[in-house]
Amino acid sequence: MWSFEEGQQLLHEGGDYAHPETSSFGYSIEAEEATTMYLTVNVSTWHMNTDLLLETNTTGDSGPVNVPVYFTVGFWNQTQPIAVSLLKGTNVFKFSRSTPAGIAIKEFLLYTNKPVVPPPNKNHTTKPVPPPEDYIEVPASTTCIKQGITEVAEPFC
């Protein structure tokens, strides 16, 4: 969407804990050589405990990296920097979310040296997202109907 100041921003209305890939988005970045860079994200949040997860060509089996998003009280602020390994050539950054609260993203910034970003207030930092308690996990060899759980739609079982 168009930004009030200038340019555009990405308004991401929320993630899905069970299926974070359904709300994922990505970008390709070309690197002339393999290197480590530092990523910050200029975000605006208006809810506590909002997350942003990052997977790249180099994260492999370690899973997504948590981008340290914090409560910005609706103002634009940069996240603390995280180190990102880039391969020579095309690198794909895949972002996903598991929390349902919205987030606005103004820009992604990559630095060659670790930038100094003022830390957020202690009471604005995120807490680990607890797993949802409103579902029952069944083995892959069965279905909700076989278990007698008929009020749950099959895609969510």
CB-based contact 41:130 (threshold 8 Å): no
Helix (H) or strand (E) holding 90: strand 89-96
Q: For residue 32, what are the CA distances in angstroms to 24, 59, 100, 101? A: 26, 19, 37, 37
Residue 34 scores a pLDDT above 90: yes
Q: What is the pLDDT of residue 51?
A: 87
Q: How confident is the model at residue 136 (pLDDT cuts 50, 70, 90)?
A: low
How many angstroms separate the CA atoms of 42 and 104, rounded?
A: 9
Report the chain's mean pLDDT, rounded to a whole number.
Answer: 81
Q: What is the pTM of this model?
A: 0.73
Whether residue 142 has pLDDT greater than 60: yes
- Of 7-21, 23-37, 40-54, 138-152, least confident by mean pLDDT is 138-152
Spatial separation of the C-alpha atoms in residues 135 and 147, rounded to whole Å: 13
Which residue ranges form the domains of the chain, and what is each CATH number? 10-117+131-156 (2.60.120.260)
pLDDT of 117 over the 80 cut: yes
Token pair recorded at residue 51: 């997350």
Is the pLDDT score of 6 beyond 90?
Answer: no
